Structure 1
Amino acid sequence: MDQSSTATLSHRHECMQDITKLLVDAGYSRAGDMAAGEEFDKVVGGLSWLITATLTTPLDISLPTLLEATSISTRIALSEVLHYTLLKMDLPVEISPHQIQGVDAPVLLPVVRWAVKNFMEKRVASGDSILGGGGGVEFTKYYDKGFGGLFDGEEIARNVEEMQERYKVRGRKYRFKGSQGSETEEQKVHRCLLEYGEKMRSYRGLRGGEGGGEEGGSNSDRGFKGRKKVSAFDKQLADAQKVAEEEEKALEEARERMAAQLMKNSEELNDEDVAGRGGVGGLVTLGRGEIGVANEEYEKLREKMLKERKDRDEKKELFNSRKLALEREIAEGQRLLDKNGGEVSKAEKARAEMQRMRTEVQDEKANNAKISEELQNLSEIEASSGQKDLLKSLWALVQENEKVKKDEKHFKEECKKKMDALTAALQNMGDDHGGQSEEEKAKMQEIENMHAKISSKHDKVRQLLAQRNLQVASTTRKIDDVPTRMELIQYERRFVELYQQVALKLEETRRYYATYNTLDSTRNFLSKEVKLIDSITNNFENAMKTKGSQDEFLQQFEAILKGVQDSLSKQDGALKKKQEEVSKKETEYTSVIEDQRKYFKLVKDFQEECNKNEALGAKIGEI
Structure 2
Amino acid sequence: MFSVDGTQDVYGELCELLVAGGYFRARITSLSPFDKIAGGLAWGIQSSREAIDVEFIEDANIGHKIKIGENIEAALCNMNCPFPLAAHQVQGLDFPQIFPVVQWLLKKVISTREENARALREHADLCFKRSMGDVLTEDLAPRTELVPKRVYKRRNLEEGFQSAEDHVLSVLLEYGQKSKLLAEVEADKTEEEEAEKEALQQLEEAELDKLLELMGSYKAAQKLTGKDVTAAMARDQQSIDRYSELFQERELLLRQQREAEEAAKNASAKLELRKQELVQDIEAQLQALQAAQEEYAGATAELEVCNKAAEQAERRNARIRTEIERIGGDLDPKRQEALRILEGLLKKNEGLEQEKEDVIQKCRKQLQAWKTLLEEAKNDAPQAENEHYRQLEEQHQEEHEKLQELLHKVAKQNRAISNTQRKIDTIPTRAELVQYERRFVELYDQVRWKFEETKQYYVRYNTLSETINYLKKEMDLLDSIHEKCEQVLGTRAAEQLPAVIQQTTESVVASKNRVVNKLQAEKQSTQTLSDMCNTLLAKQRAYFSGLKEFQEECNKNENLKSLLEKA
What TM-score bracket applies, with the shorter chain setting the length? 0.3 to 0.5
Give the alignment's TM-score, normalised by structure 1. Answer: 0.39
